[in-house]
Structure 1
Amino acid sequence: MGGHASGRLKRLLTLWFGLLFGVALVTLVAGAGRGEAASQLKGSFRGNAYGTYANAQAGPVAATLGRSAFIPCPCNGTGGKTRSNSVDSLDAGRVLKAGVLRSTVFTRKTSTSARVRNTSTVSGLNLLDGLITADAVRAVANTNADARRIRASATGSSFVDLRVNGKRVADVSPNTRINLPGLGYVVLKSVKPGGNGKSLRTVRVEMITVVVTRENDFGLPVGARIVVAHAYSGFSRNQPKVIVGGQAYAATANAKIGDTLQNNIGKAAFVVMGCEGTGGKVRTNNIAALSAGNVLSIGSGRTTAFGGRRGSGTVARTTATVQDLSLLGGLITADAVKAVARDTFRNGRRISSTQGTEFARLRVAGIPLPINVRPNTRLDLPGLGYVVVNEQKVPPRGSGGRTQVNGLRVVVTRNNLLGLPVGAQITVAHASSRVARF
């Protein structure tokens, strides 16, 4: 009897110690996991990359070039993966032609270091009717951090067979300036570092920057500025609790629409904000007019972006407004189309809104529509396809997705008299916004 009780006691003690060991092991593993995540070098990434850009003074060329192959670098990084965006070709007439444009962003973070490397590569460049040519132009912006210092460089940036004014240019030093007769000048391999190297360091690399200072045969106004191959990267010790993002543009067309029309529309009046926000200011971009034959015509386009603190919350808000619109040979017309996307993070909650999206004297196939069109209204376009009016994608609460609004999105599903291929899409007035925990 005593032996039986003693054996039972031993089994109970064995089971009890086994349970204690298991709980301790689980706690140890969970604690190690939390410690590993918490031990990552504190800080946030910055940056972006794109193939080409032209300022508003460049006129219609600004819409064509836009920020081609644009890609942002997330504040919380890419997790060791490379993200990319590309354009198969770009044609702005005599001003600029290029083959493939590809932009990438990459980050990696460990307990002792952080690295960000953003790139833009433009191949087959012909700028200003052969005044500047290159087989390839590559901008690389590197930023590396450890617990003590943050360093940045343009290492890896290069030209392949660069020629300016018909002469081959080799071994380009940073910020090389060359005069362009009858036009202005070009700055090659512009490298602009920023920050103090302790709490923040950034570097902006722009491989070709054309500045127009004289009247010229290309019709580019004085003050026009064209950039080819831009890369920007940075690292900040500041790690925000909430990050923002968003972009807006007046109009765009997808790749299936054909190179000519896509290049004519570009991403007109493009504006974007990174996850660090806009520094308390509202960013704006404007385009005076845009015409792509009888397919699309607008009198003006204006976009805005704001990201940062407002009141007791963090706000990301973008808008896109198009005036005097004529689309598809007058099949769709409007005095104004406005898209608004707004996200607010307050008291641990995200609230999304599209309030302010509206239409003035919008007509589709001769039918007048109200100022407040019901979201995601789909209307047939006889002999062409359909249009989605006030297209909205609002993410569920707790999601890290973007709030997106398209004022109008045309989809071509049939052969048509305008010559638009099946699968073509045209978007007018796009706005998107995002707020999320870091």
Structure 2
Amino acid sequence: MANLRSGPTSYSGVSCTSLAGLTRKNSVASLNLPGVLTGGAVSTTSKSISDARGRTAEATSTVGAINLLKGAVTAKALSTKASSTVSLAGAASGTNSMTLVGLTIGGRTVGADVSPNTTLALNVGGKPLAKVVINEQGKTTVNGLVRAYTRALHVTVNAKNTLGLPIGAEIVVGQSSAALNAVPAGFATGNGYALKATLLNGTVKSGPHAYMSVPCAGGAAHNSTADGSVPGLVSAGVTTVDTKSTTVPSTKTDVNSTIASASVLGGLVKATGIKAETSASRLAPMSPVVTTDTSKFLSVKVAGLPAITGAVAPNTKVRVPGLGSVTFHKVEKTATGIRVTMVYIVLEKLLGNLPTNSVVELGVSESGVR
């Protein structure tokens, strides 16, 4: 599809590390791509493992009940797993698996034991609409290491339709992918996302939404969402996250996270044109890291605080009664990088399902070089 309408939802990943025992998680309460897909909770987990088998990269994806293409495809639950392993003896292998509950395609029930890469034609109202691949599995070997991916559903529109989807449009539900790669001596780090809510103990309650990491050995990556929210507290509009890095002749990271608009607690805090943009670069392995911050707001309004505008200075912290402490354009620097959070909120009371001292972040860009 030429235009990406919605990127990976609830993305998580572990990359550019030789450390074992790492776990990264992400979750969202629901899916909503108007006219295309609605669904329940989504969670993903990525792990780096070292055990008696050797070294393993493992990824899982779980999706609650879905309704796709206005009921043409439905399911009660879907989950996938992919792994890539190098044994202690140096042998490379990969695995794929999927489980499903209550899947129907064009009114036909699909059994839980469906074979890998089963392909069905989807007809609606007696007319062809799309091709659906169920339990899509793939493995490739690159430089002696296995890369594996599993997709619960892969829909490709192949006919004109009334849903507004162009021929060739693709919809992937429940994807897991895993690969082991050599860690470069010097590499780029960082990520960007739109929204995240975290409890006082560090447990992530929602998000990070529209998350995308930096390709550590060079390249570009993109994610976008039509909207995002923490129910009862924050709503955010269209978000795009672009990350890129280069490693030759020098190492550089760029992360740009933009949100069209956001509203907190029914408009108590409102902002438009939210842009979190950072970079980090290093000319040579032992030279210092240079960072930049070109982040900005188009507009900011805070009830009862007219002095807070789109020109608010970095690290401006205020108390908003009924909400908590709010830091605008929060900047954090280290010897190897920079992190910017455009709106950083610490709750002073229970709001929705978030208790006191929970942290809500809007518009995050983090760039680094190692």
What is the TM-score of this pair, normalised by structure 2?
0.76
Structure 2 residue corresponding to 1:343, chosen from 256, 266, 280: 280
Structure 2 residue corresponding to 1:208, chosen from 132, 153, 156: 153
1-side partners of 2:361 and 2:41: how far apart?
A: 24
Query: How far has the Cα of 1:389 moved from its partner?
Result: 0.5
Query: Does residue 1:184 correspond to 2:101, yes or no?
Result: no
Aligned-partner SS, 1:276: coil
Number of residues of Structure 1 aligned to a counterpart in Structure 2: 351
Query: How far has the Cα of 1:427 moved from its partner?
Result: 2.6
1-side partners of 2:170 and 2:307: how far apart?
A: 41
Structure 1 residue corresponding to 2:347, chosen from 388, 408, 412: 412
Counterpart of 2:324 in structure 1 is 385
**Which structure dedicates a bigger proportion of its chain to helix?**
1
- Identity between Structure 1 and Structure 2 (%): 20
2-side partners of 1:252 and 1:99: how far apart?
A: 16
Cα contact 1:350–1:435 (8 A) shared by 2: no
Structure 2 residue corresponding to 1:167, chosen from 80, 96, 109: 109
Deviations 1:347-404 (A, max 9, x none): 4145252421223333333524466644332112133223110112222x2x6xx632
- In 2 relative to 1, CA 193–178 (structure 1 residues): closer, same or farther, beyond 3 Å? same
- In 2 relative to 1, CA 242–392 (structure 1 residues): closer, same or farther, beyond 3 Å? same
Deviations 1:25-76 (A, max 9, x none): xxxxxxxxxxxxxxxxxxxxxxxxxxxxx99755xxx48xx432x3322323
Give the letter aligned to residue 306 of structure 1.
K
Structure 2 residue corresponding to 1:375, chosen from 308, 314, 321: 314
Counterpart of 1:360 in structure 2 is 298
Structure 1 residue corresponding to 2:212, chosen from 244, 255, 271: 271
What is the root-mean-square deviation in Å for CA atoms of aligned residues?
A: 4.0
Query: How far has the Cα of 1:122 moved from its partner?
Result: 1.7
1-side partners of 2:22 and 2:345: how far apart?
A: 32
Query: How far has the Cα of 1:247 moved from its partner?
Result: 1.6
Counterpart of 2:202 in structure 1 is none
2-side partners of 1:302 and 1:124: how far apart?
A: 25
Give the letter aligned to residue 243 of structure 2.
A
Query: How far has the Cα of 1:289 moved from its partner?
Result: 6.2
1-side partners of 2:331 and 2:2: how far apart?
A: 30
1-side partners of 2:98 and 2:342: how far apart?
A: 41
What is the TM-score of this pair, normalised by structure 1?
0.65
Give the letter aligned to residue 324 of structure 2.
G
Q: Larger radius of gyration, structure 1 or 2?
A: 1
Cα contact 1:321–1:338 (8 A) shared by 2: yes
Counterpart of 2:56 in structure 1 is 116
Deviations 1:165-205 (A, max 9, x none): 3423254333221223335232122233334453x542222
Deviations 1:73-107 (A, max 9, x none): 2323332x252425385354993434573423124
2-side partners of 1:55 and 1:104: how far apart?
A: 29
Query: How far has the Cα of 1:253 moved from its partner?
Result: 4.1
Query: How far has the Cα of 1:208 moved from its partner?
Result: 2.1
Counterpart of 1:6 in structure 2 is none
Give the letter aligned to residue 118 of structure 2.
T
2-side partners of 1:158 and 1:298: how far apart?
A: 32
Aligned-partner SS, 1:221: coil
Counterpart of 1:34 in structure 2 is none
2-side partners of 1:362 and 1:334: how far apart?
A: 4
Query: How far has the Cα of 1:408 moved from its partner?
Result: 0.9
Cα contact 2:98–2:150 (8 A) shared by 1: no
Cα contact 1:336–1:362 (8 A) shared by 2: no
Deviations 1:99-146 (A, max 9, x none): 573423124399xx9632312142654443583325552322224367
Q: How does 1:169-318 map to 2 (within 5 A)?
A: 169-182=111-124, 183-198=129-144, 200-213=145-158, 221-222=165-166, 225-236=170-181, 238-249=182-193, 251-254=194-197, 267-278=208-219, 282-287=220-225, 300-309=238-247, 311=249, 313-318=250-255
Cα contact 1:86–1:103 (8 A) shared by 2: yes
**Which one is further off, 315-324 or 100-109?**
100-109
**Which structure dedicates a bigger proportion of its chain to strand?**
2
Cα contact 1:320–1:431 (8 A) shared by 2: yes
Q: What 5-or-longer segments of structure 1 have no aligned partner?
A: 1-53, 257-261
Aligned-partner SS, 2:247: strand
Aligned-partner SS, 1:359: coil
Structure 1 residue corresponding to 2:333, chosen from 394, 404, 412: 394
Q: What 5-or-longer segments of structure 2 have no aligned partner?
A: 200-204
Query: How far has the Cα of 1:326 moved from its partner?
Result: 4.5
1-side partners of 2:164 and 2:228: how far apart?
A: 16
Query: How far has the Cα of 1:159 moved from its partner?
Result: 1.8
Cα contact 2:78–2:152 (8 A) shared by 1: no
- In 2 relative to 1, CA 137–190 (structure 1 residues): closer, same or farther, beyond 3 Å? same
Counterpart of 2:13 in structure 1 is 72
Aligned-partner SS, 1:242: coil
Aligned-partner SS, 1:181: strand
1-side partners of 2:26 and 2:299: how far apart?
A: 37
- In 2 relative to 1, CA 427–56 (structure 1 residues): closer, same or farther, beyond 3 Å? farther
Query: How far has the Cα of 1:305 moved from its partner?
Result: 0.6
2-side partners of 1:170 and 1:383: how far apart?
A: 49
